[in-house]
Structures are given as structure tokens and as C-alpha cells.
Amino acid sequence: MQAPQALTSLQAGQSATIHALHVEPSFQFRLNGLGFRIGKSIKIMRMTPFNRPLHLKLDNTEVMLCQQNSAKIEILSVKRIALIGMPNAGKSTLFNRMSGASVSFYQLARYFGY
């Protein structure tokens, strides 16, 4: 498993998952109200110059958060992959063997046209 890092280590356009909030309880209550919860996906929309606030997006909520508070949020980087191929080419088998899961792509996404 990868080591958690600070939210400020991400670049604009990158996404991650919130791992921990190291803030005061009263501020954590406010962040929870905005959607900052452990396990939630977060994306950096843009970074303002001169270490000014970060423009963040959580689901449909967009927030500006200062660098000082952003540094107290631990995240885990998100890695995304795509398996593309014709039907019955072994995509599900490859994914299941690599991840140890048991997933049926037919149930996840059905694309018409074949």
C-alpha cells in the first residue's frame, strides 16, 4: 500500500482519496459539512499562484481551501486504468487475476453495437 501524503503535494487536475483529517474538531465538523470525509474522492481544479488557496472539487461541491489547512489533509493517490478490447478477449480474467477480485465487466458497463 502507498504512503499517505499531504493534499498540497498534488498538482492541478490530479485526483486522490481523503485518508485523514488532522485539524481541530470544530474545523473538522465544518469540513465534514462541505463533504470532506475519509474515503471520499477529491480533485484539485487549479492552484493559485504564490501559495494562495487551492480550488478543490468533491462531488458537486467546489471549495477554496488555504494552503495551511490543505497541508493537514492526508490523501492517497488514485490510479486509474482502462481495459479495452473486443468481447471475450479476457479483460475480466486479466483484471480479476491482477487485483484478486471477482468482477464481471458485463454488469459494470454494457455497450451496445456488437
| Residue range 21-31, pLDDT digits in tens | 999 999 999 99
Per-residue model confidence (pLDDT) at position 86: 84
DSSP states along 46-109: EE-TTT--EEEEETTEEEEE-HHHHTTEEEEE---------TTSSHHHHHHHHHS----HHHH-
Helix (H) or strand (E) run with residue 45 in it: strand 41-47
Domains and CATH numbers, the chain: 5-77 (2.30.30.90), 81-114 (no CATH)
From the list 14, 24, 28, the residue with the least C-alpha distance to 75 is: 14
Cβ proximity of 45 and 62 under 8 Å: yes
Q: Which residue has the cell 490543505?
A: 70
Per-residue model confidence (pLDDT) at position 10: 87
Radius of gyration of the chain (CA): 18
Per-residue model confidence (pLDDT) at position 22: 92
Chain-centroid distance of CA 25 in Å reads 23
Reported confidence tier of residue 109, pLDDT bands at 50, 70, 90: low
Q: For 52-99, how does the pLDDT look when each residue is reduced to its tens digit (9 = 90+)?
A: 889 999 988 899 998 889 899 999 886 667 778 887 788 878 877 877
